[in-house]
Chain A
Amino acid sequence: MVWLLANATFAGAGLFLLQFVVDDFIAYTLALYFLYAIACLGVGLSWGQAGLLSLGQGLFVGVGAYLSGLSLIAFSDQWFLYPLLVSCCMVPGALGFGIGQLIFRGRTLNGAYFALITLGLVLLASLIATSWNSVTGGFNGLLGVPGLPGLDGFEHAYVISASALFVAILMVAWLLATPLGVLWRAVAEDERRVAYLGFDPNLLKSVALGLSGLLGGLAGVLYAPINNLVTPDLFGFALSTNFIIWAAIGGRATVYGPVLGAVGIGLLTVQLRETIDYWEIILAMIFMGTVLYFKWGLLGYVEPFIKQILIRSTAPLTPAPPRNPTGVGTLDIKGLELQVGQVRILNDLSLSIDAPGIYCLIGPNGAGKTTAFNAMTGELSAQSGQMSIMQSVVASPDARTLAQQGMGRKFQVPCVFDALSISENLSLALWTARIDRPALLGFEALQWTSVIRQELERRFPFLTERSRLVRDLSHGQRQVLDLAIVLCTEPRLILLDEPCAGLSKAETQDVIDTVQWAAASLGATAIIIEHDMALVKALADKVFVLHQGHLLAEGTVAEIQGNEKVKTVYGGGSK
């Protein structure tokens, strides 16, 4: 809240005072670049936050501008003009969301592919705009677009676009500070992990692209009346490239970076293009240098500090609401067959767990332990067999739904969000199956805590360093944090893949204690893949031995140790 007020004061005062410092011509030029800044804020939102590099932001600006231009020409004196213009902003927003849903649907798409698709789309728009003469005016575009009724003077241009920019800045500052902003940054870093926390990465990305489109659309809708013309240049790849350059140099992950980039570099370009012939060449080189050595842009290294001073994470934590009901941690697998290429990994695997407790999955390398987990969470799909997870039959498992129902999985390599703080990492887990849509846009959920979180913080004091960035943690701490994330979701079925790998003896003991405590207090089932027999002895209520994709034996530790078949497999004797 403090952050938002500070933003409102800063941006408002800055934009208000600026008009007294500059002359009329610059004020008018500024008005134009303020509009570009609004579109550029959209690039910051989709690229800087959600990691979606769009080479086609001009698509939204252009669509907004053409719709607004056509509306103004046709209905300039109608009472419904303003509502119509508002809906002209909405169309590019809906377009962005729709494109997102179409592109991201089903599969996780490589970032490069997304960039090129957006480039393809903006080039398509450019072709349509230049060839559909009857509507778009072809190469010349829409000429003689009237200004906004009542606000059509030369002197109004600055006021209009400065106000719009003010609103856009506040909107972005607000979004970035909400749980939704945290989720976007998490998606940019590790989509799969976000899905394992019960969120839909594709929906999150589509929303980011939609809002980016909305901002682009707003810029376009105002562009038409202020410039009095709309040309197909808005769809040109040059403008879209400029948005990327401005956001990159200014600082794509910050609120003010895209604004500084668009307005600062824009004005510089206006001034220098006449005097320095090779200014564009210099700009291209600055951009490449930024990408190579200065990834977060000018403000990327400044704004986070200011933000930290303004909002110290000292706000008191409040208890999170109870999570949605979960299933019982049971598992029933029958005759699972899984083959990848020519290699048969799971071979008629059957395995059943009908009561909570701690179960260990052991077996030589290549026995299919991790693959069994992967089949259960939908990473790999089994060719045949039946699975019933948490008492419901699952035909094609997917991580997000399972997480919602109460499954948590920890991968062998720690999967934590490096760019986020410890507190944000734990909050993500607390939001699983707890946060509703309105809360995603509020600030309360950032302060949530739970009994589990408090106990984890007591056991591992580094977790209380709330604003510390996770990229600064040691390997052992990352393993612990990953486990803490899984446990904070309060799962009923916990899959742990070598949770103690790479940990010291003391750390290992702490993790063992924690797993036992969590399983008991949550009434959960924990299935642990483990190689270390001492650990298995300490932990397991029951042991499953896998060999060549098949269940070789099951029983207590003592029973397993006395089993001849198991001895043969591990002792290297003949089959």
Chain B
Amino acid sequence: MDGLLVAHGLNISFEIVVLALVSLGLAITLGLLGVLNLAHGEFVMIGAFSAFFVQSQGWPYLAAFPVAILACGAIGWPVEKFLIRPLYARPFDAILATWGLSLLLREMVEFFFGRGFNSVAQPIKGTVNILGADYPAFQIVVMLAAIALIATIVFWFLRSVTGRRIQAMVDNPDLAKAVGIPVDALARNTFVAGLCLAGISGVLLAPIVAVHPSMGIDYVLKSFFVLVVGGLGHILGLVIGSGVIGGAEATVSAIIDRTSGYSFVLILSLLFLWRRPNGLVAR
């Protein structure tokens, strides 16, 4: 019984950590650039397909990370230049354009890889025993990697010169430009970095979930809920938001069923939009 509880706890923690990682990428583009990128989930999907591609070529799993980063960068760079940049001033149209982009990416992946479900083998086999529960070793590694990644990015953002420049750009783009910060390049790099982060999340998730062209929708929606609940102001919001959304969905799904878990999260987000539109941790 105890072991079962621990396993449940680990499952929920896993959901939360993964959600936080995926949401971080969305938070970067929405919070820093003001663009709600509806194609964010498709970059998670591209990351997952990178892992699938790498495996089908017989390369080692770790090779999927550079492949995913290259793929997301190669797509993200022109996307920023031709699609997003003209729309920074028209955020509402940016939603539409990224919705179109998500469709395009889905169709393109479908064109090359087909519509079906694929699976990626877990690179680390076996389980570890944690407090009496046998838990897949790979999922533990993913959790630790995700936490390390989030911590590194946040630390870097708060301490580095580039992080400061991004903060300046977000605060006042015109003034930032006037003091010599290359705002256009900075915005592009920030956007592409957010996409690459989604791609990396996809690589980490690929061995655990079903890999198919439409897998992204779920992630973008859930990440959005995380940002609604947590707010855009602070990394703490992201963590709390992921905790609330990931935790609530996993718990309710485990107790009742998936539909209830999803409905619960949706209703919760609606309540937040009414009562606390800035989220728990306001900017």
Q: Could you say which of B97, B221, B224, B266 contacts A288, with CB atoms under 8 Å apart? A: B97
Contact A281 B100 (CB under 8 A): no
- A111 located at the interface, meaning its Cβ lies under 8 Å from any Cβ of chain B in the complex: yes
Contact B95 A111 (CB under 8 A): yes
Interface string of A110-141 (1 = CB under 8 A from B): 11110111011101100110010000000000
Q: Could you say which of A107, A119, A295 contacts B277, with CB atoms under 8 Å apart? A: A107
- A53 located at the interface, meaning its Cβ lies under 8 Å from any Cβ of chain B in the complex: yes
Contact A128 B97 (CB under 8 A): no
- A237 located at the interface, meaning its Cβ lies under 8 Å from any Cβ of chain B in the complex: yes
Q: Could you say which of A55, A102, A123, A281 contacts B99, with CB atoms under 8 Å apart? A: A55
Q: Could you say which of A124, A244, A285 contacts B96, with CB atoms under 8 Å apart? A: A244
- B257 located at the interface, meaning its Cβ lies under 8 Å from any Cβ of chain A in the complex: yes
- A268 located at the interface, meaning its Cβ lies under 8 Å from any Cβ of chain B in the complex: no
Q: How far is the CA of A53 from the CA of B108 in the complex (A)?
A: 25
Contact A112 B111 (CB under 8 A): no
Q: Which residues of B contact A535 (CB under 8 A)?
A: none
Contact A284 B107 (CB under 8 A): yes
Q: Could you say which of B96, B263, B273 contacts A103, with CB atoms under 8 Å apart? A: B273
- The A-contacting residues of B in range 234-268, CB under 8 angstroms, are 257-259, 262-263, 266
Contact B104 A285 (CB under 8 A): yes
Select from chain A the residue with minimum beta-carbon distance to B108: A281
Contact B36 A284 (CB under 8 A): no
Q: Could you say which of B38, B83, B273, B277 contacts A117, with CB atoms under 8 Å apart? A: B273
- The B-contacting residues of A in range 266-316, CB under 8 angstroms, are 277-278, 280-281, 284-285, 287-288, 291-292, 295
B interface, size bucket: 35 or more
Contact A292 B36 (CB under 8 A): no
Q: How far is the CA of A106 from the CA of B274 in the complex (A)?
A: 7
- B70 located at the interface, meaning its Cβ lies under 8 Å from any Cβ of chain A in the complex: no
- B183 located at the interface, meaning its Cβ lies under 8 Å from any Cβ of chain A in the complex: no
- Grouping DSSP codes into helix (H, G, I), strand (E, B) and loop, the A interface class, with mixed when no group exceeds half, is helix
Q: How far is the CA of A128 from the CA of B262 in the complex (A)?
A: 10
Chain A min CB distance to B194 (Å)? 16
Chain B min CB distance to A286 (Å)? 9
Q: Could you say which of A55, A123, A248, A295 contacts B262, with CB atoms under 8 Å apart? A: A123
Q: How far is the CA of A485 from the CA of B261 in the complex (A)?
A: 50
Select from chain A the residue with minimum beta-carbon distance to B217: A237
Contact B111 A53 (CB under 8 A): no
- A113 in contact with B87 given A53-B95, A55-B99 (CB within 8 Å): no
Q: How far is the CA of A121 from the CA of B108 in the complex (A)?
A: 26
Chain B min CB distance to A274 (Å)? 15
- B91 located at the interface, meaning its Cβ lies under 8 Å from any Cβ of chain A in the complex: yes
- A292 in contact with B258 given A116-B221, A281-B104 (CB within 8 Å): no
Q: Which residues of A contact B266 (CB under 8 A)?
A: 120-121, 124
Select from chain B the residue with minimum beta-carbon distance to A280: B107
- The B-contacting residues of A in range 47-86, CB under 8 angstroms, are 53, 55
Interface string of A249-281 (1 = CB under 8 A from B): 000000000000000000000000000011011
- B228 located at the interface, meaning its Cβ lies under 8 Å from any Cβ of chain A in the complex: yes
Contact B101 A288 (CB under 8 A): yes
Q: How far is the CA of A292 from the CA of B81 in the complex (A)?
A: 12
Q: How far is the CA of A291 from the CA of B83 in the complex (A)?
A: 9
Q: Which residues of B contact A112 (CB under 8 A)?
A: 36, 91-92, 95
- A291 in contact with B97 given A113-B228, A119-B221, A241-B103 (CB within 8 Å): yes
Contact B259 A128 (CB under 8 A): yes
Q: Which residues of A contact B23 (CB under 8 A)?
A: none
- B3 located at the interface, meaning its Cβ lies under 8 Å from any Cβ of chain A in the complex: no
Select from chain B the residue with minimum beta-carbon distance to A279: B107
Q: Which residues of B contact A110 (CB under 8 A)?
A: 277
Q: How far is the CA of A244 from the CA of B186 in the complex (A)?
A: 32
- B174 located at the interface, meaning its Cβ lies under 8 Å from any Cβ of chain A in the complex: no
Interface string of B132-149 (1 = CB under 8 A from A): 000000000000000000
Q: How far is the CA of A291 from the CA of B270 in the complex (A)?
A: 28
Q: How far is the CA of A107 from the CA of B276 in the complex (A)?
A: 10
- A109 located at the interface, meaning its Cβ lies under 8 Å from any Cβ of chain B in the complex: yes
- The A-contacting residues of B in range 142-179, CB under 8 angstroms, are none
Q: Which residues of A contact B92 (CB under 8 A)?
A: 53, 111-112
Chain B min CB distance to A241 (Å)? 6
Interface string of A166-178 (1 = CB under 8 A from B): 0000000000000
Contact B103 A284 (CB under 8 A): yes
Interface string of B98-129 (1 = CB under 8 A from A): 01110110011011000000000000000000
Q: Could you say which of A109, A123, A244, A295 contacts B93, with CB atoms under 8 Å apart? A: A295
Q: Which residues of B contact A288 (CB under 8 A)?
A: 83, 97, 100-101, 104
Q: Which residues of B contact A116 (CB under 8 A)?
A: 36, 38, 221, 224
Q: Which residues of A contact B95 (CB under 8 A)?
A: 53, 111-112, 115
- A117 in contact with B270 given A127-B262, A278-B111, A281-B111 (CB within 8 Å): yes
- A102 in contact with B270 given A53-B95, A287-B100 (CB within 8 Å): yes
Q: Which residues of A contact B108 (CB under 8 A)?
A: 281
Q: How far is the CA of A20 from the CA of B11 in the complex (A)?
A: 62
- B86 located at the interface, meaning its Cβ lies under 8 Å from any Cβ of chain A in the complex: yes
Chain B min CB distance to A11 (Å)? 28
- A105 located at the interface, meaning its Cβ lies under 8 Å from any Cβ of chain B in the complex: yes
Q: Which residues of B contact A103 (CB under 8 A)?
A: 270, 273
- The A-contacting residues of B in range 38-71, CB under 8 angstroms, are 38
Q: Which residues of A contact B262 (CB under 8 A)?
A: 123-124, 127
- B269 located at the interface, meaning its Cβ lies under 8 Å from any Cβ of chain A in the complex: yes
Select from chain A the residue with minimum beta-carbon distance to B87: A292
Chain A min CB distance to B144 (Å)? 31
Contact A120 B269 (CB under 8 A): yes
Q: Which residues of B contact A284 (CB under 8 A)?
A: 100-101, 103-104, 107
Contact B259 A292 (CB under 8 A): no
Contact A244 B269 (CB under 8 A): no
Q: Which residues of B contact A241 (CB under 8 A)?
A: 99, 103
Q: Which residues of A contact B38 (CB under 8 A)?
A: 116
Select from chain A the residue with minimum beta-carbon distance to B218: A123
Interface centre among A103, A120, A124 (most CB of B within 10 A): A120
Q: Which residues of A contact B277 (CB under 8 A)?
A: 107, 109-110
Q: How far is the CA of A291 from the CA of B87 in the complex (A)?
A: 10
Q: Which residues of B contact A105 (CB under 8 A)?
A: 274
Chain B min CB distance to A131 (Å)? 5
Q: Could you say which of B100, B258, B263 contacts A291, with CB atoms under 8 Å apart? A: B100
Q: Which residues of B contact A123 (CB under 8 A)?
A: 217-218, 221, 262
Chain A min CB distance to B150 (Å)? 23
Q: How far is the CA of A112 from the CA of B277 in the complex (A)?
A: 13
- The B-contacting residues of A in range 220-251, CB under 8 angstroms, are 237, 241, 244-245, 248
The 9 A-B pairs of least Cβ separation, nearest first, read: A284-B104, A288-B100, A280-B107, A287-B100, A284-B103, A112-B36, A127-B259, A291-B97, A291-B96
Interface pairs (22), CB distance under 8 Å: A55-B99, A103-B273, A109-B273, A112-B36, A112-B92, A112-B95, A117-B269, A117-B273, A119-B217, A123-B218, A127-B258, A128-B259, A131-B258, A241-B99, A241-B103, A245-B103, A280-B107, A281-B107, A284-B107, A285-B104, A288-B83, A288-B97
Q: A112-B91, A244-B99, A278-B107 given. 8 additional CB < 8 A pairs? A: A111-B92, A112-B95, A116-B38, A117-B269, A287-B100, A288-B97, A288-B100, A292-B82
